[in-house]
Amino acid sequence: MLQYLIIQLDNTSTSFCHYSNTKNRPLLITLDNLKNGILFAMKENLMVQYVLPDYELPAEYIEAMESIDNTKIASYQSVYANNADIVVLNGWNKEYLFDKDDVYVLRVDKKELFGKCSEIKEKIKMCRRLNIVITDVETFTDVDFELYRSVLKEFSIALEDSFAADFVAQLNVLTDRMMLDKMNNCNAGCDSITLAPDGRFYVCPAFYYENEYNIGSLVDGLDIKNPQLYRLEYAPICRHCDAYQCKRCIWLNRKTTFEVNTPSHEQCVVSHLERNASRELMMSVRERVEFLSDKEEIKDISYLDPFDLRDEWL
């Protein structure tokens, strides 16, 4: 059941996920399409998330946007960064100024993540929440998996210290799994859809930027082919998995396996490395302070890719 409408206000609006923004020339959604998108959200009882460009929008656009409750996503360079609910950092810069009350998304490739681990580690305790998005996770090798395991251990040290100091910092790749008791995936095409600057609906912004298929328009209405494929219960392996923090990115699934409901080996291993690191962090924190006493201990497992257990689950 749909819950969110993402409105990509301009071609140059920042990416906040794995995909890259491939459209460099500004193309602002028309005011009529913006208003009709908001009306669509009202009729369908959807929460609206705006992805803003870096430049200042006309006053009439701001007025229309504020006619409905919303969440704003903007890049660190945007004129709206100070008023955004989620601030996106495209690539690492040690000069970033973090606010303890704000939520940030850090989009980095593996080279930056591994090379700037110490700098990123120091920033974890300086904001309310940091979401790390690895933009080239599909290229991970066995060597990268081991490096990522080491990175997660370093981040765990920072988090353990913050918990002991009574400041509960959140880092998506480690703290989410400890707090969840069911899958919290991307769910594009199921829980959320995107209205792009061209007035058409897409599964998510990535499908627009990659010139993939649309799923309807404001004129013709919504038309999602095979909608069941976007739901967890129709994912034969994922529905048995307990790496609850995994985003199970629909666009990455399609890009790497040609199936929207089937993640790649790389996605699964990365998610299970995070799951296992979360387990170790949870046990370490509990040795120092009372922590998440209402949550069960995360079980020990012997695999990193659930596909290895396909004969048991299929």
Q: How high is the pLDDT of residue 313?
A: 56
129-159: string of b/e by CB count within 10 Å (b at 16+)?
A: bbbbbbbbbbebeeebeebbeebbeebbebb
Q: How high is the pLDDT of residue 224?
A: 93
Per-residue pLDDT band for 314 (boundaries 50, 70, 90) equals low
pLDDT at 166 over 80: no
Q: In percent, how much of the chain has pLDDT > 70? A: 98
Alpha-helix residue ranges (DSSP H) falling in 116-249: 117-123, 142-164, 172-179, 205-209
- Give the residue among 269, 240, 272, 241 at the shortest CA–CA distance from 256: 269
Q: How high is the pLDDT of residue 194?
A: 98
Q: How high is the pLDDT of residue 231?
A: 93
pLDDT at 310 over 70: no
Q: Where are the chain's structural domains?
A: 1-90+190-223
- Paired residues of 4 in beta bridges: 47, 192
Two structure tokens written together for 87: 């601030």
Q: How high is the pLDDT of residue 164?
A: 77
pLDDT at 289 over 90: no
DSSP state of 291: -
* Choice among 60-74, 181-195, 260-274, 300-314 with the minimum mean pLDDT: 300-314
pLDDT at 9 over 90: yes
Q: How high is the pLDDT of residue 40?
A: 97
- pLDDT tens for 25-45 read 999 999 999 999 999 999 999
**Average pLDDT taken over every residue of the chain:** 93
- pLDDT tens for 207-263 read 999 988 999 999 999 999 999 999 999 998 899 899 999 999 999 999 999 999 999
Q: What is the mean pLDDT of residues 184-188?
A: 93
Q: How high is the pLDDT of residue 74?
A: 98
Whole-angstrom distance, CA of residue 285 vs CA of residue 283: 6
Q: How high is the pLDDT of residue 287?
A: 86
Q: What is the mean pLDDT of residues 160-169?
A: 81
The full DSSP string for 163-181 is: HHTT---EEHHHHHHHH-S
- pLDDT tens for 49-92 read 999 999 999 999 999 999 999 999 999 999 999 999 999 999 99
Q: How high is the pLDDT of residue 311?
A: 62
Looking from the CA of 26 toward its CB, the CA atoms found within 13 Å total 8
